Chain A
């Protein structure tokens, strides 16, 4: 074959990846649905109720954001995530927003490229044991078997705590709260460790709650909050200020009951700005004037949400503690709406 064969024009197909980081707000509006990553099942914070609808303290944030952006708190699709899958789900764009008692840490904020927009619950890690074990302090847990959710900060805190106290333990890694509860009840571990709020929630669902004690030691700081992807600042702002609107609403006495009237009757200019009776504040983040009004109407202000889901009148019976408003000795503090 003398003639060398050239395969004409093999078009060098320029294959450009079509996934560009589109604005989450536009996506949500186009879809007319907010996709919210929540807990697989943690009573009080995020769990399906008897009729299969997600309810809880974290879920209320999803509803408020949906109400602010789409005008309807029901336009949310809940995606249950485990400690192991949650950040992948958020990073890959499977969910728009993650509200699943996730701890704000340095490396998650920077290295994992997420933005924690605020803290909706100030928590700390604790231990729960059976009363029959006769343990009154976490420092007596030398040699114990401890159930721990994988993919969490608690996993690392636990290792640090036992190292600092020169004690040994056997970890049993579990995927989610439900499995942890099962293993703990079955006696596969002596102690169950997670955020103190989570322990209270688990304890509340046990048939023999009085037989279990939460040990006094709180071994870590766990600021839990809603998370969005890094880079879409407007979407981060929307989630952040929706949450702060709920906190500010509690501070100014705006409740789900009076939110529709108070905007007209109040003389407080901050409340007027918040509820859209004055200025053009909604437009600054691409929303309408009444975004905050709808967010507050969805499940009430921060205090109402707390009381309805995890407060002292519920079986979980958590005190406000650090989560009280700054005016009442807590850490909840919304920057000014101005």
Chain B
């Protein structure tokens, strides 16, 4: 009892804020908070005063005004009559397309290179070392520019693909020709690849901001359903195996379930590939032919004669149809993928080396082949080490897409932070909005990857 009362009741003195460890941490935190708020307040106040001094306002109303400029490429419908807000969206989708494809390809490349760097094959391992060291020790901006210049300087202009009536008359072949059975055209501006199209479209749903193709939706839904049925067949086979000790032959059925419905859907819809071309056509879309003298075989209305025989000629400045991938897009994607891939390769290598050798030796002792040892024993354990640094590589890649400015690719920085900012003069608003969008993007990637990290994390039981 005396113990409880013997503790002297100490009165509070101001100096205790500094010298008493019980209060000191509070003091420091409060001082830091005050300094931080003061700095923030000063920045905001400074901005407000300067905006007022320049007679400028701070509002985002410009996002609803007509943009008036064109963007190439645009993944959603966009004309110069649309708003700055929609231009922002077009830029954002371009950023996202590079980021998503970039993350996927960089992962594939990085995992392959990382595993191969540990290969017992001397030449393969050294080649991968050379790739990693060369790539990650040169700024990514240079890789992007080098790729762009290489693409633009080593390819032919679209005019080299031209066939004029005079060329037909004199029997001259064009300087350049298309690749892969005339389905891919590589010019000094873009790579045009065939576009998948259907003749009997199901239409699309318009969501105002964007429209979703029902054909694509049906295709994905059918594919998901097929995979689900196929997996159910697999589980059923396992159950039968466990009950009877005999596994029924399922692969022909599973293959049929996976392939047939999709093929049936595509056939019913009249799936075909639209090749890029420069052929001259009449208003009905029929090819205009020329005879040996260079004379166009057309009727009085300029329509192609139905039974004429001759050679096709070209018209226009660029390839039409297909999907044009601009060199700016390709260069940005390739540069980022190779650069980030090198870092991922190192992360993967580190992850694999972090798995104790005893694990693979034990697997070999059990008689697992090297391939299955890697897939079943090493990689699942390595993933625990790999995933957290992988997240920051994905974030880096996403943020690095803003280097698009170097090759004039119209990403978020090109539309919102470039033309929109310039034409409206709303520097502060555009920059803040852009920073906010990149922040949200990065946080979303972090959140998704953290969920995945939880799934592969070591589960302590």
Q: Which residue from chain A places its CB closest to the CB of B27 in the assembled complex?
A: A7
Q: How far is the CB of A154 from chain B (nearest CB, A)?
A: 10
Whether A143 contacts B68 in the complex (CB less than 8 A), given A7-B30, A19-B50, A156-B423, comes out as no
Contact B418 A159 (CB under 8 A): no
Contact partners of A132 in chain B: CB under 8 A: 159
- Which of B317, B408, B427 touches A172 (beta carbons < 8 Å)? B408
Q: Are A173 and B419 in contact (CB under 8 A)?
A: yes
Q: Are B317 and A190 in contact, CB atoms less than 8 angstroms apart?
A: yes
Docked CA distance A156–B189 (Å): 22
- Name B57-99 residues within 8 Å CB distance of A: 68-72, 79-81
Q: Quick one: given A132-B159, A187-B157, are A142 and B54 in contact (CB under 8 Å)?
A: no
**Complex contacts, B56 vs chain A, CB 8 Å:** 113
Q: Please, how many residues of chain A have a CB less than 8 angstroms from a CB on the other chain?
A: 53
Indicate if the CB atoms of B50 and A17 lie closer than 8 Å: yes
Q: Given the complex, which residues of B lie within 8 Å of A5, measured CB to CB?
A: 12, 17
Tell me the bound Cα distance from A155 to B87 in angstroms: 14
Q: Are B316 and A156 in contact (CB under 8 A)?
A: no
Q: Of residues A21, A107, A150, which shows the largest number of chain B Cβ atoms within 10 Å of its Cβ? A: A150
Give the complex CA separation of A83 and B421 in angstroms. 12
Say yes or no: A231 contacts B46, CB within 8 Å: no
Q: Across the interface, do B38 and A1 meet the contact criterion of CB distance under 8 Å?
A: no
Query: For the complex, what is the distance from the CA of A51 to the CA of B52, rounded to whole Å?
Result: 43
Residues on A with beta carbons closer than 8 Å to the beta carbon of B152 = 186, 188
The reply to whether the CB of A151 lies closer than 8 angstroms to some CB of chain B is yes
> Given A159-B69, A187-B157, A3 and B30 touching (CB < 8 A)?
no
* A337 at interface, CB cutoff 8 A: no
Given contacts A10-B34, A171-B70, contact A112 B425 (CB under 8 A): yes
Among residues of A, the one whose C-beta sits closest to the C-beta of B417 is A84
A142 near B49 with CB under 8 A, answer no
Chain B residues near A87 (CB-CB < 8 A): 422, 425
A143–B320 alpha-carbon span in the complex (Å):
9
The answer to whether B408 and A19 have CB atoms under 8 Å apart is no
Name the A residues within 8 Å of B49 (CB-CB): 16-17, 19
How many Å lie between the Cα of A231 and that of B38 in the bound state? 31
Report if A75 contacts B (CB, 8 A): no
**C-alpha spacing A160/B70, complex, angstroms:** 10
In the bound complex, residues from chain A placing their C-beta under 8 Å from that of B45 are: 15-17
Q: In the assembled complex, how far is the CB of residue A19 from the closest CB belonging to chain B, in whole angstroms?
A: 6
Interface residue? A209 (CB, 8 A): no
In the complex, residue of chain B having the shortest beta-carbon distance to the beta carbon of A92:
B427
- Any A CB within 8 A of the CB of B460: no
Q: Which residues of A contact B159 (CB under 8 A)?
A: 132-133, 187
A99-131: CB near B (< 8 Å → 1, else 0) gives 000000001100111000000000000000000
- Cβ contact within 8 Å between B54 and A91: yes
Nearest chain A CB to B27's CB is how many angstroms away? 8
CA distance in complex: A189, B320 (Å): 15
A156 touches B153 (CB 8 A): no
**Contact across chains for B188 and A230 when beta carbons are under 8 A apart:** no
Question: Across the interface, which residues of B come within 8 angstroms of A159, CB to CB?
Answer: 68-70, 80
In the complex with contacts A3-B12, A84-B418, A188-B189, A169-B42 CB distance below 8 A: no
Which chain B residue shows the least CB distance to A187?
Answer: B157
- In the bound complex, what is the Cα–Cα distance between A332 and B56 (angstroms)? 33
Contacts of A53 in B (CB 8 A): none
Q: Is the CB of B422 within 8 A of A84?
A: yes
Question: How many chain B residues touch the partner (CB < 8 A)?
Answer: 45
B55 contact from A108, A156, A171, A231, Cβ within 8 A:
A231
A13 in the interface (beta carbon within 8 A): yes
Could you say which of A108, A144, A174 contacts B317, with CB atoms under 8 Å apart? A144
Given the interface pairs A142-B316, A143-B317, A188-B189, the reply to whether A88 lies near B427 with Cβ below 8 Å is yes
A143 B318 Cβ-Cβ under 8 A: yes
- Closest chain-B Cβ to A159's Cβ sits at a distance in Å of 4
For B419, give the chain A residue with the smallest CB separation. A150
CA A171 to CA B72, docked complex, whole Å: 6
B248 in the interface (beta carbon within 8 A) = no
Provide the residues of chain A in CB contact with B80, threshold 8 Å. 156, 159-160, 163
Q: Which residues of A contact B425 (CB under 8 A)?
A: 87, 91, 107-108, 111-113
Instruction: Check if A17 sits within 8 Å of B30, measured CB to CB.
Output: no
**In whole Å, how far is A298's beta carbon from the nearest beta carbon of chain B?**
31
Tell me the minimal C-beta distance from B432 to chain A in angstroms: 15
**Chain B hits for A186, CB < 8 A:** 152-153, 188
Question: Cβ of B316: which chain A residues have Cβ within 8 Å of it?
Answer: 142-143
Beta-carbon contact of B72 and A13 below 8 Å: no
Distance of B407 from chain A, by nearest CB (Å): 10
Q: Give B148 Cβ to nearest chain A Cβ, in Å.
A: 10
Q: Is B334 an interface residue (CB 8 A)?
A: no
Pairwise interchain contact B317-A151, C-beta atoms closer than 8 A: no
Instruction: Give every chain B residue within 8 A of A151 (Cβ-Cβ).
Output: 418-419, 422-423
When the two chains form their complex, are residues B318 and A170 in contact, meaning their CB atoms are under 8 A apart?
Answer: yes
| A-B pairs with lowest CB-CB distance, top 5 | A151-B422, A17-B46, A187-B157, A159-B80, A112-B425
Interchain Cβ contacts under 8 Å between A and B, 18 examples: A17-B45, A19-B53, A88-B427, A113-B54, A132-B159, A151-B422, A163-B81, A169-B70, A170-B72, A171-B69, A171-B72, A173-B414, A173-B418, A173-B419, A187-B157, A187-B188, A190-B317, A231-B54
Extra pairs beyond A5-B12, A15-B41 (15, CB < 8 Å): A17-B50, A84-B422, A91-B54, A113-B55, A133-B159, A150-B422, A151-B423, A158-B70, A160-B68, A160-B80, A169-B70, A171-B71, A171-B72, A188-B188, A190-B317
